[in-house]
Structure 1
């Protein structure tokens, strides 16, 4: 592939040099140039046509997460969950032959407060032959008892330091509240493959 491209560039430079010296008629140069650019345009058109065909087949991957409500079996532990916690992002891990071969990042697009549904858009495509695992990341909406942050903490996403949720002064009077949990009732992954 590299040799063909370099030859075309070499020939076009040769034709340019000959044209500038007056050794080549302008008609011959234009014919070569037209053929070269016609092939180039055809290759680009084929590439975009294939890309346009592939995109709808694979589709955009979305993840929808339904939270438990006040009348669910876990309501005793989740009454204040949505008030104190929110989902920041999720990951879909694609597994094949006991190995993680894909990792899609999903970011929240909408949250329906009435129905307690998060809709997240993911940054890749799925394949039907793979198994899936998912991880969901949450952060606090307001001050609550929080433990130490782990090594994967991302301040830009979590905002615990910026909002002073981890300050000793703010934490010293905090008590554990068993009602501040999220109940993930359902996860639906839509795209090329549903599960």
Structure 2
């Protein structure tokens, strides 16, 4: 049975959630960003106990359908920006529709209603955090970062970076004052 977990956004999160679930004597079939699959369904007492354990770690079990869909959207975007280094070959709306097997207008409207922002803004925020990370690592040029994150040009990346952070990428690189945010805080 699949369960969705809010704020599980990195490999370390997956490891911690898996360990804690196994400590409860439950058998884990698989763990991926934002979800965990158990061999058997949880009864209400087990579910409550899992919720309590996850909440002490900063995670939460998601029960309602709308919240699960929102978390799936976020997980897909995080994977796309932070883990998949492949180029997005279709537009974002088609990509999300294909991955979720739902109409993009439905996904977009629900996301905006629940989160109070758009999918596009969340996607841009994730990309900017990835840009910050790559700038801090100082292994790629701005041009290589723009290419890696599918920006049409360095100018486009710089413009979006400044609009989001208030700083130019070059200034950010020099001061490195505003370090990256945790993905669950973006």
**TM-score, scaled relative to structure 1:** 0.22
**Greater strand share, structure number:** 1
Bigger radius of gyration: 1
For normalisation by structure 2, the TM-score amounts to: 0.23
Judging by fraction of residues, say which structure has more helix.
2
- Name the structure, 1 or 2, with higher relative contact order (CA <8 Å, separation 6+): 1
